[in-house]
Structure 1
Amino acid sequence: MHTFPRVTVGIVMALMCACSDLAKGTAGDAGSPPRVAGGDGGARPETNAPLEGTATALGPTERGVILVHAATFPSFRLCFENEPDALPQPDATVMPEANVVGVEVGSAVRLPPRETAPGRVFLFEEALIRPLYAAFGGTGSEEWTCGKLLKSPTRSDDAILLGSLDAPLSQGVHLLVVHGCPKSTAVRTYTAAECGAAYSGESTLTISDTVLQGTARASDELPVQVVHLSQALETARQGKTLTVSFGKLGGAMKVVATDPPLFGQPAAPERLAYAPDATAEYATTGFRVAYGGGADAGTLLSVEQSLARVQKLSSPRDLPQNYYAQASNYVLLMLGDPAPKLADGGVDDDERRGLHLLAVPVIEPRDAGADSGPDAGAVVAAASDGG
């Protein structure tokens, strides 16, 4: 049996900005309806509120996949049933603080479009299949494709079915979010507080797909959308008012969203004013996530993160004034638990499991650079930079 360390889940916010430190997308048409895959293997179409405004040259013609780790599970790689000759995805993106590929705790990875419907989606714990690949110190060959893994009488036991994606991921930018909890075992049990009220000890791991859309923006504004993906935060607030705000840290802020629904669709964006050339303000302006008991009860949780910190965690080699300069959609992932705990009940001080924000570009500039490898992936890491 395997002990699964706790991974937390997040809130996603779409910011209209750009990132030169991430891999280039490819051209295509946008607008295919998003679909959500459940643990029963079925998929249902979902609607997504498009951003208002005029589409840019970068916008609807760009396409790709953003894969988000929002589950109570270790680092993973995915296999798509209809891509038997491919390696588990990602196959080239190195995880933060590790010289191996996969989707790490508190991170997201960009993948290229999938021209055919992925079909059933299987999750493999990265550590369990790492020994098969010589490039990462294993004794096996590089021939362990998804087809071989899923047909192996021993390796197939490690595959966890997340659901099915029955339409191609080739039109628009798809936000794929892996969330839920694995089955409880004698070694590691999970609770409704971690996994939601419906959790009864059986696996609720699943994958959802939402299509993100872009629009034009002025150079001095950041249009923001909020998508609530944090089960840990939802449990902790216990029905109290949850707000996401933007402005001067420690001061009065503009409310961006109030009580966004858990795993719900994004509302129309709020366009936030900021000063792109005022470099000092990137350290003093940012976001606050808070919940409280009402006007008389006070605030019970308040977590702030500056624009500079968001940039540093998301793209360490960039600078804030460049990072937010160009017209491109971002999802701002609020990942982590307000009070993360280790399996033995102690305090977990891993910042990737605590509450933190990462920014991932939805639409990338056409000249963002060459592909970084077979999966053209780019990781957005919760790096321990001390900033």
Structure 2
Amino acid sequence: MSFIAPRLNVIKPSASITVANRAAELRAAGQDVINLGTGEPDFATPDHVVEAAISAIRNGETRYTIVDGTKALKAAIIEKFRRDNQLTFSMDEITVGAGAKQIIYNAMLATLAPGDEVIVPAPYWVSYTDIVLLGEGVPVVLQCTQQDGFKLRPEVLEQAITPRTKWLMLNSPSNPTGAIYSHDELKALAEVLLRYPHVHVMSDDIYEHVLYEGASFSTIAAVEPRLKERTLTINGVSKAYAMTGWRIGFAGGSKELIKAISTVQGQSTSNPCSISQAASVAALLGPQDLLAERAAAFQHRRDRCIELIRDIPGLSCEVPPGAFYLYINCAGVIGKSRLDGRAIASDEDFTMYLLDDAKVAVVQGAAYGLSPYIRISIATSLETLECAFARIAAAVANLS
């Protein structure tokens, strides 16, 4: 009998982390690998945030805090939700965790019974379905095609709801596609959800501030206030403020749900890092002009990468209105052969080919639930992106 728990048999390691690790291994072996698989802004954490962390250390803020966040950080989060999203929460409706991922994990463990269903529109962030499985739930994956803008249609949602449906997961702007649900699109989904009071919504808004060309952001609890009690609105400081390693995510939800999430966290990690919490207060309450500046930089990279993709036969890409990823359709290279005679039969094969031949690490669309695509992150310098696409172009040209 295996010592390892059977629950691990139904999940797989994060594809983006796997790609990053493989790229690091190749680099350690002396190979010049460009990693476009990791969703991590290349900007520095803002100076005033860093200074807040240093001050916290010097002031002795290095002890345990309240399990689900300090009062100072919860107050800052309440102000953020009011300022940015027109959402009102009280202290006992806010939870803070070691990243948005921990909030999602805690929520699934706190609410799912074996066999409960969670609707997950695809393409989806790679961890959603596996977190549901760890909570003994059943992911119900709904394909959202490129023709539909990679977004869930209300009639498709309604057809998928059953008496066992407990959650709908929404991510806007989306990882991996950058798709954004408009106010009206969220309103249409909300009209369906209002007919099914047993279904709750997990709104993952982590890319809220990475918007292009004047795109606007809406979150479903604000669009339809009657859903607020049934919605867990999740966000964090990692993407907007380049604080991925600080590990702070947060959410607003009903008192009952927030208490349950805190109970799970209290028996796992306890509080998030006290120093990171102090830094996050400074991020949320400090100057916000850097958000638009950094979004503009991402947009410049996006526009240049779209130009480069258009010059590569067999690849195409919808222009994303948000987030810092490109979800590239690679249907035109499927069925072709490498110089060594091996066929490119899937987007995973194409991903491995780019790593082997071009020394460019990307993530296959299959990991996000919709093929044939590859996802690249543009959260790196334009010079690096130019070099990477030159390598990809040469590798594609070598296919026959």
TM-score, normalization by structure 1: 0.27
**Structure possessing the higher relative contact order (Cα contacts under 8 Å, 6 or more residues apart):** 1
TM-score, normalization by structure 2: 0.26
Whichever structure has more strand as a proportion of its residues is 1
Whichever structure has more helix as a proportion of its residues is 2
